[in-house]
Amino acid sequence: MYEVERIIAHRLTDDLYLLVRWSGYGPADDTWELEKELRVSAIEAVTDYYNRLEKSEKLELIKQLREKMAENEALVRKSEKKRR
């Protein structure tokens, strides 16, 4: 079983991904994993990562997440209008 050593970075595309460093492995083996899945399997590492972020990085991530949510809501509304 793989164990999360720490989370190194994040990226927001279609979803929020976190770059994971696995215990006993090096940077070549780092992988991007869905944040929502890591919240279940490695909540301590996720919490530690967010606590390490600078305030400006946290604010930027929140801004990006809000924008993504607004985009998704607009797509849902557009899809619902087409079905009517």
Give the tokens for residue 51. Answer: 């606590």
Burial class (CB in 10 A: 0-12, 13-18, 19+), 14: exposed
Same domain (yes/no): 33, 65? no
Per residue in 31-68, pLDDT tens? 999 999 999 999 999 999 999 999 999 999 999 999 99
Q: What pLDDT, on a 0 to 100 scale, did the predictor assign at position 16?
A: 96
Quote the number of domains for the chain. 2
Same domain (yes/no): 47, 34? yes
State pTM to two decimals.
Answer: 0.83
Q: What pLDDT, on a 0 to 100 scale, did the predictor assign at position 36?
A: 96
Residue 80 has pLDDT above 90, yes or no: no
* Separation in Å, CA 39 to CA 1, 26, 34: 17, 22, 9
Q: Which domain holds residue 78?
A: 54-84
Average pLDDT score over the chain: 94
Tokens 């899809």 belong to residue = 79
Which CATH number goes with the domain that contains 37? 2.40.50.40
Residues 6+ apart with CB under 8 A from 67: none
Same domain (yes/no): 62, 78? yes
